[in-house]
Amino acid sequence: MNSPRKLHIELLSDATFGRGEGTAGEVDTEVEHDEFGIPFVGGKAVRGLLRDTWLSMRPHFPELRKAGDRVFGPTKRFLDVGVLRVGDALLQREARDWLIAAATRADERDCVSPAMILAACTDIRYQTAEDRLTGAPAPVTLHSSRVVLRTSAFEAPLTWRTGDGPEEDDLRVLAMAALATRHGGLMRNRGRGQLRISLDGDLEWTRRLAGIATSEATR
């Protein structure tokens, strides 16, 4: 059985995968981005989303418990003993290569700055707390956060710690977790971070690996 080489992550709504700090004078919550200003999602964050999804599903699939423990590692273990490794989810190659080329032109006067690239890939959202008595915005609660724009697509490489590759049940667990992971990042309970994740960018193949019949998958 062929093993998937990457996760394809499509943003169906704007998303904030925060880096734990803001940018002074611009936003209170900044998104992860590299030295060129190109947003990305850390591999640990992606793997954590998949693992959390699987743990919520696991009670309903006792026959896959061992496979899930093998893929993501058993619960209550401090060491990472799962066989699945997920790399950083980078912007799709064509878009990323174009942006890097724009940032590294031979003539520095023609180079696009990291700040300009980040601004082109993102937007800033503002929110404030509501006064419970009056319904008006509460004072001194205005908060700004950067969001990666919807329709952006990222790809995260997949590797397996075992030499012979994953077993059939391992792939089923991974496919099920990918399909069931629908939200990620900050403010995901308020409409942000709606995701669609597939293996190698092939949604139908991902559904087949998960054991979903073709007639059901096309609904």
User: Would residue 1 count as lying in a domain?
Assistant: no
Q: What percent of the chain has pLDDT over 70?
A: 90
Domains of the chain: total: 1
Q: Is 202 part of a structural domain of the chain?
A: yes
pLDDT at 4 over 60: yes
At 219, is the pLDDT very low, low, confident or very high (cuts 50, 70, 90)?
very low
pLDDT of residue 164: 64
Q: What is the dihedral of CA 180, 182, 188, 191, to 10 degrees?
A: -140
20 domain-assigned: yes
Residue 147 clears pLDDT 90, i.e. is over it: yes
Is 128 within a domain?
yes
For residue 137, the tally of other CB atoms under 10 A from its CB is 13
Q: What is the pLDDT of residues 47-77, one digit of tens each?
A: 999 999 999 999 999 999 999 999 998 876 6
Provide the pLDDT confidence category of residue 134 given band limits of 50, 70 and 90: confident
Checking if the pLDDT of 135 tops 90, the result is no
The pLDDT assigned to 75 comes to 76
Which residues constitute the domain of residue 151?
Answer: 6-217
pTM for this model (two decimals): 0.87
- pLDDT of 218 > 50? The answer is no
Average model confidence (pLDDT) for the chain?
88
Asked if residue 57 lies in contact with residue 50, where contact means CB atoms within 8 angstroms, the answer is no
